[in-house]
Structure 1
Amino acid sequence: MSFPKVNPTQTTAWKKLQYHFEALKKVHMMDLFSENVSRKSDFSYQWDAFEVDISKNRITSETLSLLFQLAGETKLKEAIEAQFSGVAINETEDRAVLHTELRNFKTMKPEVTEALSQMKVFSEKIISGVWKGHTGKPITDVVNIGIGGSDLGPDMVTEALAFYRNHLNLHYISNVDGDHVMETLKKVDPETTVFLIVSKTFTTQETLTNANTVREWFLETASEVAIAKHFVAVSTNLEAVQKFGIASENIFPMWDWVGGRFSLWSAVGLSTCCAIGYKNFESLLKGAHAMDIHFQETDFSENIPVLLGLLSVWYANFFKTETEAVIPYSQYLNKLVPYLQQAFMESNGKGVDRNGNEIEYQTGSVIWGSTGTNAQHAFFQLLHQGTKLIPTDFIVFTESLHKKIEHQNKLLSNFYAQTEALLYGTKGEEMETPYKVFQGNRPTNSIVIKKLTPYSLGSLLALYEHKIFVQGVLWNIFSYDQWGVELGKKIAVEKLAKLQKE
């Protein structure tokens, strides 16, 4: 089974969409709602604890029909089958893309089952206090040292699930800027801290620089023998890890078939597992797997990741939008946007297609945003009255974890008010000054979830992973390599050599 390589602009559907766009581009969504009183229900989708409303988009049923045709002509269904079948769809690196196997408990690979068991045992020892530091004191702090996918995912999930956290203090060191590592070390006690070094090759410059600095700091008050009780690694480079002083039983695996930005489900998420406990970590995985099944098995007409991915293509390639905003109305999700920035922009920021040809159409939208309601007092002016069209995802959980009903009602009222204001604007109202006019007709998706739990968070993150996949297939690009980060690394090594000689 080969991965499809279809130039979308050469399809019949693309040409039809161009004509359709010309007819629809100036239509106001208000008129579409007036013409169809059941539009909201017609364009809303229920799945599990999710309700996804795409009615506030500049689309009609014909738009979706043509987008489904485009998905068919670019062989999206075949691409989905290829990924889940383990085909090496990351062809430039000759790797399969199977992060979904990290959360499929029915057909889980033996090595994944073993790694999860190892994570369970380790995390329970740390949480219970059975694991002691070299002076006999229980562990109070866990520090994750990594960068990119070895930092953004675990940090984001640990923050998002803070409600479910135990007594451990979690810290994340990523930037090679020495200020980051030194400020973190001020907060921890070497006798009661475990450091998790997460690096597939154990050669990543930022991670190894920080790890060595931490090691030197630790050895100021302890012997090298003590390293075994305070340092753990997630890596494939066993020789380098053991040379660092880490005991073989404290090494967790990584695999080539899991890309870094999709690795939080693996032992890369060990810090999260320690923070929320193995049971909650497993629930996170199961929530993601439920979305995997939905994506793999549901008809495109009801398939939420497919629908959201198709809408992105519609805006990027026909309306020529260049960015998408994501606004989670939950302070717990304040690190979701940086995580999605890497996931989307490292995956689909490509200018060469799967046939090796330079691309002449838009790919890889810029992802940005912040939490509501903070964002309303920051950049919503641009969303409402700016000259740029910015499709926006609004995410909210209807149930308050802390049962603060007054706060929650005000949060929800703002969530619904903003999408409505972006839709309607001041259309039909007489304004005394043009400066108060809102044109409206600004597209939004509403993702409404019952409650923030490990399970629902897993589903939400998997939803976005599959949206990335859909975009990549339709744009005919390889979403799972990241050659674009290599050139800067190479030049930095050369610059460093020069600086060290001076």
Structure 2
Amino acid sequence: MRDDAVINPRSTKAWKALEKDAKRMKATTIQELFAADPARAERMTFEGAGISMDLSKNLIDDEVITHLLELAEQTKVLDRRDAMFRGDAINNSEERRVLHVALRMPRSTPLVLDGHDVVADVHEVLDHMGSFCEDVREGRWLGATGKRITDVVNVGIGGSYLGPEMAALALRRAVSAPIDAHFVANVDAADLEAVVSKLDPETTVVIVASKTFTTLETMTNAGLARDWIAGALGEAAVANHFVAVSTNHEAVKEFGISENAMFGFWDWVGGRYSMDSAIGLSTMMLIGKDGFAEMLAGFHDVDQHFCDTDPKKNLPLLLGLMRVWYGNFLGAETVGVMPYSNDLKRLPAYLQQLQMESNGKRVSRDGVAVEYSTGPIVWGEPGTDGQHSFYQLLHQGTKLIPLDLIGFLTPLSGYRESHDLLIANLLAQSQALAFGRLADEVAASGVEEWQVPFRTFPGNRPSTLFFLDELTPRSLGSLIALYEHDVFTQGAVWGIDSFDQWGVELGKAMATSIAGTLTDETVALTYDSSTNSAIERYRNSRRRWA
């Protein structure tokens, strides 16, 4: 379904004003902006849902923010936000609603669509998850030989893998049961092999996370895991050691999984927005149903903030508009996400999918090719690791790369003194990127004249500094929801559908076609010459080991 009401952002008055702003900002520096405005940091730090967001070290001023907010108004971002929360089918290319926000609505907040309360459905699944997880955690759900479950293996890919894996690492301090979680996604069987080689099938339960129960990579790995369990314990053991997150009842039953061990979700939940649905079953096993409820509350805190807060103080709206500013007006092509928390080491990978699968689009919702840049490339590593890797380029390279620097005020380990050093590094990087160390300062420090150019840091490298009190289920939920609505804001400005993902389909379809030619040499090769040559090379190798 084409959306003929799309507004081309370049046709707006605000866009034209921002083009003029960009020329002005390119002629100034962050250093000069601070010098001219002593109250800048206080005025440009925004608070909401337990998150502090300091925009002051960005290449912006009040006029830029005003014009960005006008751009949001003129492209009807908030109208589209309201349509999403209302349950309209804003995923127009798939003609679906977009209701991941319903996954964290309180039980007491109904959302009735077509005469049916979807929030009631959500809580029915949450109750089912809670009952199952408590049975596992308390030793009532046992393996086929009567042993207690000690390990859970989540088999999925994309959103059914990245979110749960990220959460398991981030929330390790909130784990409240003697259970370890493991994650398998890659169709390279070495991934599964590396995991199960360390586990006892008698004490392992496997979650197969696939909405359709047909996802090629997931079902290939699920089949191998099934062989591992059945080979060790017998076919009848499958029912004790497998559960499914899926809506395909028949396929799940055929696999050998009981209906009581099947947890559903809905077509209005995209995979990359699903970690707070039944896809988070492994998360609930680790932190319990109460911990999971706290995480959902954190998501909901930001949902409410996004809906209720003045645009001038609205964290996800302002953050999304910053992405538009850098990508469309200052020429930045990437965004770096640097969590100063080792427990958040998988956050950048999670956000890569959230951002790039959502907004990596070349046509607007009316099917017309866009004439402006859309989704940024997202990447990152935890601090301080990256400081001894790619920060050289950030400080002295030639690329404009705005950064998200994320810190927690409360120590994340028992080694409290290390936390002081961690935060010192976070703050030092934020300051050094913005203000640098100019040639006259370098020269004044006694450096030999010929070395001054090599030791000069020009500064003027933008970053946004985020602080949360501590890393808990609730704060993690808030942080992820912040980024979800940041993504939404970008897509709404650009007039694209942030909730389809047709770009992943072509490669999967071609892989299915090519797979048959690798094993059946009677099949004529009709691909391009490069692909045909590569297939022949593989066939020759395969004859030696198949």
TM-score (norm. length: structure 1): 0.98
Residue 33 of structure 2 aligns with which residue?
A: 32
Matches for 1:24-423 after TM superposition, within 5 Å: 24-105=25-106, 106-107=108-109, 109-165=119-175, 166-423=177-434
1: CA distance, partners of 2:394 / 2:40: 23
* 1:66 counterpart letter in structure 2: H
1: CA distance, partners of 2:39 / 2:343: 34
Residue 461 of structure 1 aligns with which residue?
A: 480
1: CA distance, partners of 2:417 / 2:93: 53
Residue 450 of structure 1 aligns with which residue?
A: 469
2: CA distance, partners of 1:483 / 1:107: 33
Residue 18 of structure 2 aligns with which residue?
A: 17
**Structure 1 residue ranges without an equivalent (≥5):** none
Structure 1 residue 424 corresponds to structure 2 residue 416 = no
- 1:14 alignment partner, SS class: helix
Residue 543 of structure 2 aligns with which residue?
A: none
Cα distance 1:377–1:430, how it changes in 2: closer, same or farther (>3 A)?
closer
- 1:142 alignment partner, SS class: strand
Deviation at 1:459?
0.2
| Native 8 Å contact 2:50 2:475 kept in 1 | yes
* 2:407 counterpart letter in structure 1: V
1: CA distance, partners of 2:180 / 2:45: 40
The CA RMSD over aligned residues, in Å, is 1.1
2: CA distance, partners of 1:3 / 1:285: 35
* 2:502 counterpart letter in structure 1: W
| Native 8 Å contact 2:245 2:262 kept in 1 | yes
| Native 8 Å contact 1:131 1:139 kept in 2 | yes
- 1:57 alignment partner, SS class: coil
Q: List per-residue Cα deviations over 1:27-78 (Å, max 9, x = no partner).
A: 0111111111100001001224321100000001000000011001000110
TM-score (norm. length: structure 2): 0.90
2: CA distance, partners of 1:417 / 1:23: 27
1: CA distance, partners of 2:173 / 2:246: 29
- 2:152 alignment partner, SS class: strand
Deviation at 1:4?
5.1
Deviation at 1:402?
2.8
2: CA distance, partners of 1:45 / 1:73: 23
1: CA distance, partners of 2:47 / 2:4: 31
* 2:171 counterpart letter in structure 1: L
* 2:145 counterpart letter in structure 1: T
Once the two structures are overlaid, the 10-residue window that deviates more, 214-223 or 50-59, is: 214-223
Deviation at 1:426?
1.1
Residue 489 of structure 1 aligns with which residue?
A: 508
1: CA distance, partners of 2:21 / 2:479: 31
Determine what percentage of the aligned residue pairs are the same residue: 47
| Native 8 Å contact 1:351 1:363 kept in 2 | yes
Once the two structures are overlaid, the 10-residue window that deviates more, 146-155 or 101-110, is: 101-110
Larger radius of gyration: 2
Q: List per-residue Cα deviations over 1:355-413 (Å, max 9, x = no partner).
A: 21111110110000100011101100010000001000000001013342210110111
2: CA distance, partners of 1:413 / 1:243: 56
- 2:413 alignment partner, SS class: coil
| Native 8 Å contact 1:144 1:195 kept in 2 | yes
* 2:485 counterpart letter in structure 1: H
| Native 8 Å contact 2:229 2:237 kept in 1 | no
Deviation at 1:226?
1.6
Counting matched residue pairs gives: 501
2: CA distance, partners of 1:224 / 1:368: 43
